[in-house]
Amino acid sequence: MSAIRVRGLSKSYRVAVKQPGLRGALRHLFQREQREIHAVRAVDFEIQPGEMVGFLGANGAGKTTTLKMLTGLIRPSSGHASVAGQVPFERKRAFLQDITLVMGQKQQLIWDLPALDSLAVNAAVYEIPAHEARTRIAELAEMLGITGQLSQAVRKLSLGERMKCELLAALLHRPRILLLDEPTLGLDVNAQEAVRRFLREYNQRYSATVLLTSHYMADIVALCPRVLLIHEGQLMYDGSLSGLVERFAPYRELRLELAQPLELSELQRFGEVETLDGLSAVLIVERSLLMSTVARVLSELKPRDLAVSEPPVERVVGKLFMAGSLAAQPPPAAPPDVTAGGPPC
């Protein structure tokens, strides 16, 4: 049985539209205009027990709305979701015992008290025997490297330590399904890596299913062999991360070590120039033209060294979201302008 099964899941909202200024305010008072927002549109997917899946999409694409439906926080407008064999919105005890939702920008721990105080309540709420709770807290704290921090007031912890404590609180009841919304948001590189390491270990130790959204592609690359890509509420892709790059970024990077300095215009004859720094240059070349371009570069420029590589995933995804090119199906034939870069989600 699938850990998560979603069929035709949709969510629409009606939002009030108000024009700016006094005139708009007065008009809004007597004649309310409303607009229908289709946040999620007929999404289908299945996730098997123990899978780690990345959930990608630009801001407002429908990721968080989907997670809210999967955790039973909001009711779908139509369609069906089954999580841990339960209907989320019914929020039955067995369902809530099996899932957790970690939100990077939200906290459940009480700000002014040590995390241990909040954990004691969580243990009671989830009916974990006291001795078992102590064992779990010790085990998770060791995995997260926060054994010494649990007795300090939460407000006195660093952002990374606080996030780790939040993870501990969210996992104390040992849920089988983890829904993680930006769990590394705002953390420094070391803390991000520690959280990733922990999630991987938790997944392996407890065969937990993980659905993860992240602003940092490094999280997805490190943890999720499979990704779901959502755009304007519609699921655009469900498959491997490498397949995503193949499908949406049909180009390669050509890294050159030049024999002599060249003008930009001379290099632009072979493809789009991503960088040119002295004798080092990176060209973006359409995959279908790769062999002929390499041959031309070798014969005409005679570089000291040449290497072909895939573009970094984060740049590909970031560019897809920035350009809004996901709406076009099939994906664009011309290589996107990756020089613009930009945030991945």
Contact status, residue 195 vs residue 162, Cβ threshold 8 Å: no
**Minimum CB–partner distance for residue 64 and another protein (Å):** 7
Whichever of 182 and 219 has its CB closer to another protein, that residue is 182
Neighbouring C-beta atoms of residue 234, cutoff 10 Å: 17
| Residue list 303-332, contact with another protein (CB under 8 A) | none
Whichever of 172 and 221 has its CB closer to another protein, that residue is 172
Whichever of 101 and 146 has its CB closer to another protein, that residue is 101
Compute the distance between CA of residue 193 and CA of residue 186 in angstroms, rounded to an integer: 13
Q: Is residue 209 a contact residue for another protein (CB under 8 A)?
A: no
Neighbouring C-beta atoms of residue 73, cutoff 10 Å: 14
Q: Is residue 117 a contact residue for another protein (CB under 8 A)?
A: yes
Site for another protein (CB under 8 A): which residue of 10, 66, 86, 122? 122
Q: Is residue 91 a contact residue for another protein (CB under 8 A)?
A: yes
Compute the distance between CA of residue 178 and CA of residue 170 in angstroms, rounded to an integer: 9
Q: Tokens 């076009």, residue?
A: 328
Compute the distance between CA of residue 144 and CA of residue 111 in angstroms, rounded to an integer: 20
Q: Is residue 103 a contact residue for another protein (CB under 8 A)?
A: yes
Q: Which of 186, 191, 203, 189 is nearest to 164 (CA)?
A: 191
Q: Is residue 100 a contact residue for another protein (CB under 8 A)?
A: yes
Structure tokens at 239: 């498959």
Which range of residues in 95-103, 134-142, 195-203, 257-265 is near another protein by CB under 8 A?
Answer: 95-103
Q: Is residue 291 a contact residue for another protein (CB under 8 A)?
A: no
Q: Is residue 86 a contact residue for another protein (CB under 8 A)?
A: no
| Site string (149-188) toward another protein, x via CB under 8 A | --------------------------------x-------
Site for another protein (CB under 8 A): which residue of 7, 32, 80, 93? 93
Structure tokens at 9: 């899941």
Contact status, residue 36 vs residue 13, Cβ threshold 8 Å: yes
Site for another protein (CB under 8 A): which residue of 4, 58, 70, 123? 123
Strand pairing partners for 212?
A: 54, 180
Cis previous bond, 311, omega within 30: no
Site for another protein (CB under 8 A): which residue of 120, 218, 279, 306? 120
Q: How many chain residues bind another protein (CB under 8 A)?
A: 33
Q: Is residue 18 a contact residue for another protein (CB under 8 A)?
A: no
Structure tokens at 47: 């996730």
Residues 6 or more apart whose Cβ sits within 8 Å of residue 158: none
Compute the distance between CA of residue 129 and CA of residue 60 in angstroms, rounded to an integer: 41
Compute the distance between CA of residue 281 and CA of residue 272 in angstroms, rounded to an integer: 11
| Site string (55-84) toward another protein, x via CB under 8 A | ---------x---x--xxxxx---------
At 64 the three-state DSSP class reads helix
Q: Is residue 19 a contact residue for another protein (CB under 8 A)?
A: no
- Interface residues with another protein (CB under 8 A) are 13, 64, 68, 71-75, 91, 93, 96-97, 99-101, 103, 106-108, 110, 112-113, 117-118, 120-127, 181
